[in-house]
Amino acid sequence: MARAIDTATVNLSQADLEIAAYLAQPQEPGSYPGIIVLQEIFGVNSHIRDVTERIAREGYVAIAPALFQRVAPGFETGYTPADIEVGRVYAWEQSQASELLSDIQSAIDYLKTLPHVKKDGFGCIGFCFGGHVAYLAATLPDIKATASFYGARITNATPGGGEPTITRTKDISGTLYAFFGMEDASIPAEQVDQIEAELEKYKIPHRVFRYDGADHGFFCDQRGSYNPKAAADAWEQVKQLFAQQLQK
């Protein structure tokens, strides 16, 4: 039975910046693990808010920080080609990996201030650009479980430039699940294999899921690429990951 939840928009203090974040949490008193939800290039839009709420109904306190706060406060958009081009610029040209990690840590630190949030390990989940950022976030000591959905450019880039994010694999301290659609032109199968090989090389606890017939964005029911079968299986895997790693 899904839990009743409360939602709110909160602000995270980050140096001289206030970062907006969408918070969802169970109404029933208890002690719950915290989950960071990492947006696509489209901002903390209705899809990301919906995912945040779904996670809260499963018994977690979930928070989705606005990753584009520095460059586009309040940015939220749809899925047109024009929207995609704007979002890509914000994600890859105007974001910096170090700032994204700092913002995610701010979200974790905020959750630690809530009396009903467990302090001994957090999870994160991200989609598209957020799937890439989730791979980065997995290197944070507080993150014990990561679900990375179709994170493009992990093998050959990092936000703002620098060594590709895959070079940080050795710094991952928790368990990582990665989800890919095999029809995703933006993430060739060879890159998926490269990510899996790197996780194996450094003995990172992981699973890599490859969905035949699924395209980029297959988890989002607002996109034409939505694949109900792949999305349903991936959701079950995510629930299993978080339960095993965070509900101990």
pLDDT-flagged residues of the chain (< 70): 1
User: What is the pLDDT, as a whole number, of residue 1?
Assistant: 65
Residue 127: phi and psi, rounded to 5, are: -130, 135
Q: Specify the number of domains making up the chain.
A: 1
What rounded mean pLDDT belongs to the chain?
95
Alpha-carbon span 23 to 60, nearest angstrom: 11
Helix axis angle for 129-137 and 97-112, nearest 10°, is: 70
Catalytic residue among 142, 184, 215, 220: 184
Catalytic residue among 47, 124, 128, 206: 128
Residue 40: phi and psi, rounded to 5, are: -80, -170
The reply to whether 216 belongs to the active site is yes
User: What is the pLDDT, as a whole number, of residue 65?
Assistant: 98
Beta strand pairing status for 17-26 and 5-14? antiparallel
Residue 203: CATH number of its domain: 3.40.50.1820
Range of the domain at 117: 3-244
Q: Which long-range contacts (CB under 8 A, 24 or more apart) does 15-20 make?
A: 17/69, 17/70, 18/69, 19/65, 19/66, 19/69, 19/103, 19/106, 19/107, 20/44, 20/65, 20/66, 20/69, 20/73, 20/74
User: What is the pLDDT, as a whole number, of residue 127?
Assistant: 98
